[in-house]
Amino acid sequence: MSSNLSKCFILRFLFLFVIVVNFIPTKVYCNLKIALFGDSLMAGYGLDDRFHLSTVLEKRLNEKGFDVEVINASVSGETTTGGLNRLNWLLEKREFNIVILCLGANDMLRGINPTLIQQNLDKILGILKEKNINILLAGMLSQEIYGEEYRNKFDKIYPELAKKFKISYLPFLLEGVALNPEYNLDDGKHPNAKGIKIVSRNLEKKLIPLLKQ
């Protein structure tokens, strides 16, 4: 009789142990550094720090079990030329596991030749690749202010580079946000706090598979 009770107790203990272990939250990776390398669209323009993309994205990833730090390395008004010029300086200051790259919007608004934009982004991606940093390229779409020819050339930049470098790619950073007053500041260009949550979700769809590699 005591033998049966002992067996029953052991089985119950093992059953409860398995359940408890399965419900213990675990970190998928430890202390990964993710850099947001872009312009005002990722820098938190017009927002309190707690609503910055870096803050929101880090919090959401932590809640999903990823031990990551998201660093805001974006600069409002940045162009691809400016980004290229400061990239090496940034990489000398900090080490990153992943860089989320989204530059080109300001170039487009200034009517800069798409060929030059692509050349700059190509050089940026080459530098990151040489340093074995994982990359998520977030694309932009051209407005129609410079005509169809310009728009077609600009919109091809990001998919072509993603294919060339074989990197993770989000076709449009502002998917679900652009042109929607509910998700933008009064200027109609920059995401508000609601919009940032959507941008974060857009990035997470591509970033989480990259983190799990």
Closest CA to 142 of 110, 170, 100: 110
Predicted local confidence at residue 213, as pLDDT: 84
CB 177 within 8 A of CB 192: no
> In whole angstroms, what is the distance from residue 80 CA to residue 85 CA?
9
Q: How far apart are the first and last CA of the chain?
A: 52
pLDDT digit string (tens) for the chain, length 213 residues: 445 445 444 445 444 444 444 444 444 456 999 999 999 999 999 999 999 999 999 999 999 999 999 999 999 999 999 999 999 999 999 999 999 999 999 999 999 999 999 999 999 999 999 999 999 999 999 999 999 999 999 999 999 999 999 999 999 999 999 999 999 999 999 999 999 999 999 999 999 999 998
Active-site hit among 74, 142, 155, 190? 190
Interval 70-113: pLDDT, tens = 999 999 999 999 999 999 999 999 999 999 999 999 999 999 99
Predicted local confidence at residue 145, as pLDDT: 92
> In whole angstroms, what is the distance from residue 120 CA to residue 114 CA?
10
Q: Does residue 187 have an active-site annotation?
A: yes
Domain boundary assignment for the chain: 26-211
Predicted local confidence at residue 205, as pLDDT: 97
Predicted local confidence at residue 27, as pLDDT: 46
Active-site hit among 48, 49, 186, 187? 187
Q: Does residue 200 have an active-site annotation?
A: no
Considering the four listed CATH numbers 3.40.50.1110, 3.40.50.300, 3.40.630.30, 3.30.70.100, the one that applies to the domain covering 26-211 is 3.40.50.1110
- Kindly tell me the burial class for residue 62, based on how many C-beta atoms sit within 10 Å of its own C-beta (0-12, 13-18, 19 or more): middle
User: What residues have CB less than 8 Å from 197, skipping those under 6 apart?
Assistant: 56
Active-site hit among 39, 40, 74, 107? 40
> In whole angstroms, what is the distance from residue 4 CA to residue 57 CA?
53
CB 208 within 8 A of CB 170: no
> In whole angstroms, what is the distance from residue 162 CA to residue 159 CA?
5
Predicted local confidence at residue 147, as pLDDT: 96
pTM given for the model:
0.86
Q: Does residue 52 have an active-site annotation?
A: no
